Amino acid sequence: MASYKTIAKESEGFYKEKGSKFLAFAVPVSAEDEIKAFIAQKRKEHHQAVHVCSAFRLGADHKLYRASDDGEPSNSAGPPILGQIQANELTNILIAVVRYYGGTNLGVGGLISAYRTAAKDAIENAQIIEKEEMESFEFSCSYAQMPSVMTFLKKERIEILHTEMGLDCQFKLNLMKEKSQHIMLELSKL
């Protein structure tokens, strides 16, 4: 079964070291444009912060991931945040850590520890859930086929993302990845 672990909703973490404050925000995401928008929002909300460092991982296969030090010394912020995501086997998650400088340099070791601890706190404060991997599909049918298609979709508890009625009926569906080929085959038979 294609399932993965993520978080149910946004959570926060906090760490303070030598006057510097590290505010961590963990959020469930499904696309890179959501990630960019969330980081931009945190930059705007915390415009006096020195850095907004982050890491994310997308997909049940865990293959798409990135980490950003946002001006901190190389590998002192993003990779420790990503390390916490990996250690907890999470995906479809972004963790952004906002740093307010406290006047004392922490050194690379101190930064690594601070960013890792803030990210860990955000994960510990989150509700970790397991989800099925989903795919979206589009198909169309005639108005005459519509009643049998709707009966099938209801019976199979398939999520309809979008419907458009024009010369024919067009649907965008959200299907569990492991059942998607079977469902599309059954719909083609209707």
Q: What is the pTM of this model?
A: 0.77
Residue 1 has pLDDT above 50, yes or no: no
Q: What is the pLDDT of residues 15-52, one digit of tens each?
A: 999 999 999 999 999 899 999 999 999 999 999 999 99
The answer for residues whose C-beta is within 8 angstroms of residue 72's C-beta and 6 or more apart is 51, 53, 99, 111, 115
Q: Which fold has domain 133-189?
A: Alpha-Beta Plaits (3.30.70)
Residue 13 has pLDDT above 50, yes or no: yes
- Lowest mean pLDDT across 7-16, 47-56, 171-180: 171-180
Q: What is the pLDDT of residues 58-102, one digit of tens each?
A: 988 889 999 999 999 999 999 999 999 999 999 999 999 999 999
How many other CB atoms sit within 10 Å of the CB of residue 147?
10
Q: What is the DSSP string of 6-68?
A: EESS-EEEEEEETTEEEEEEEEE-SSHHHHHHHHHHHHHHTTT-SEEEEEEEESTT--EEEEE
Tokens of 131: 């989800």
Sorted by where each begins, the domain ranges of the chain are 3-130, 133-189
Separation CA 58–CA 48 (nearest Å):
29
Residue 116 has pLDDT above 90, yes or no: yes
**Percentage of the residues of the chain whose pLDDT score is greater than 70:** 99
- Lowest mean pLDDT across 75-84, 146-155, 172-181: 172-181
Q: Where are the beta strands (DSSP E) in 59-133?
A: 64-68, 93-100, 128-132
Bridge partners (DSSP) of residue 55 are: 67, 95
Separation CA 34–CA 58 (nearest Å):
11
What pLDDT score does 21 carry? 97
Higher pLDDT: 1 or 91? It is 91
Q: Which CATH class is domain 3-130?
A: alpha beta
